Amino acid sequence: MQTFAETPAAERLSQIAARKLEIRKQLEGNGEVDLDKLQTELRGLDDEMKEIELREKRAALAKGINAGDIEGRKTSEFVPGGEVPNPAKEARKVAEERGKALKENRSVTVGSSNVIMPRHDASDIRPTFNEVSSLIDRVTHKPLQGGESFRQPYVTGYGTGDNTTEGNDYATAEPTFGYANINKSKVTAYAEDSEEVLKLPPADYDAEVMKGITIATRKKITREILVGDGNTNHLAGIFSAAATAIDSGTDLEIDVIDETTLDEIMYSFGGDEDVEDAAVLILNKKDLKAFATLYDDTGSKKIYDVKSNGNTGTINGVPFIINSACIAVTDPESETGDYAMAYGPLSNYMLTIFSDVDVQRSTDYKFKQGMIAHRSSIFVGGNVVSKNGFIRIKKK
């Protein structure tokens, strides 16, 4: 039959008593000790011992054992030397050892746990939502290192042959051409942080600052692809009058997203002989929601099958890209004539890269203040380079 001294509770009480003896030896030694830490540990051990004894006492009572027997055992069976553990006595002993150590000029570490609660910082930084439309990566890229401007020719149309009688001139059927002018635009971003941010925190804030200025540059360019006005130091955006390849008369106007909207956009784009494929719809997330939540008259079946994958997806198989530079037709605050969407092959927009992205860090600018400067710059240009390469959708 197993005796009380052989139970797991008894084994733990013995471990607690042994640890308390180790703490006393540390207090009586001549080395540096953290009295606050040892005192906290002693309180924890006392609390655990009381909890075990109370639990064993209740178990004994439940089995009909005399509780006094349990109380008698706890002082003699588990404490080396037979000494009764006393929390008040232990606290007084710690205080006496602290005073003795100070009087002997020994090194004593006073913890901060009794003064202020410590703050613990993570070693990583959690990201936020995506802020850059993938439109910037899907258009045509043309590297022109060191360039200043670029002119891209495109066909605007072909002539039509005619019937000619003998001896008369042949019918004139020359193709016509247009030119898209792309001029240099300098896009920059700048940020500062301190050397403390670089050297002290466990999380790599400095790397996030460097990453952030690159993201800021991409955010600006992807917006300019749509809304750049084409003036000096700006891209010619798809919605801009500077996108001369697009005839404004081809713009489509809608005032609501209904069951015919997608078909209206698709069949309004392109020439008279084809229904174009491989085209992409660029729109605001609010309008995408309107497509996704449109039901038939019964209210039981969705009109459009919307499949999302982050910044991209499909509507009834038609690819889309979300870009917040588009206004939303469904937004009550949008105004008549605002451009809301664009539809067409993304290869019809050309982004010329006149320089690589130059990202630099410097400690010279505010050396005295210990500030670190980060900057990013790139020279780019952009324009629509195909005749009516996109159909633009306005709010009616």
SS3 16: helix
Q: List pLDDT tens digits, range 112-142.
A: 444 555 555 666 667 778 888 999 999 999 9
Task: Report CA dihedral (195, 196, 197, 199) to the nearest 10 degrees.
Answer: 80
More confident residue, 49 or 344: 344
Other CB atoms within 10 A of residue 137 CB: 14
pTM: 0.66
- What per-residue string of b and e applies to 326-347 under the rule 16 or more CB within 10 Å gives b? bbbbbeeebeeeebbbbbbbbe
pLDDT band, residue 258 (cuts 50/70/90) = very high
Q: CA geometry: angle at 84 spanning 81 and 85, to 5°?
A: 110
Distance CA 53, CA 47 (A): 10
Would you state the pLDDT for residue 43? 77
What 8-state DSSP symbol labels residue 161?
Answer: -
CA distances from 361 to 10, 101, 176, 197 (A): 63, 51, 50, 14
Q: List pLDDT tens digits, range 20-59.
A: 888 777 766 666 667 667 777 877 888 888 888 777 777 7
Residues 168 and 361: beta-carbon distance below 8 Å: no
Distance CA 283, CA 395 (A): 12
Q: What percent of the chain has pLDDT over 70?
A: 77
Distance CA 273, CA 382 (A): 29
CA distances from 39 to 45, 84, 264 (A): 10, 18, 78
Determine which of 15-19, 151-155, 283-287, 389-393 has the lowest per-residue pLDDT on average. Answer: 15-19
Give me the amino acid identity at 342.
A
Would you state the pLDDT for residue 110? 46
Q: What percent of the chain has pLDDT over 90?
A: 46
SS3 27: helix
Q: List pLDDT tens digits, range 275-307.
A: 777 799 999 999 999 999 999 988 889 999 999
Residues 156 and 177: beta-carbon distance below 8 Å: yes
More confident residue, 37 or 166: 166
Other CB atoms within 10 A of residue 324 CB: 15
The answer, yes or no, to whether residue 169 has pLDDT greater than 70, is yes
The answer, yes or no, to whether residue 274 has pLDDT greater than 90, is no
pLDDT band, residue 231 (cuts 50/70/90) = very high
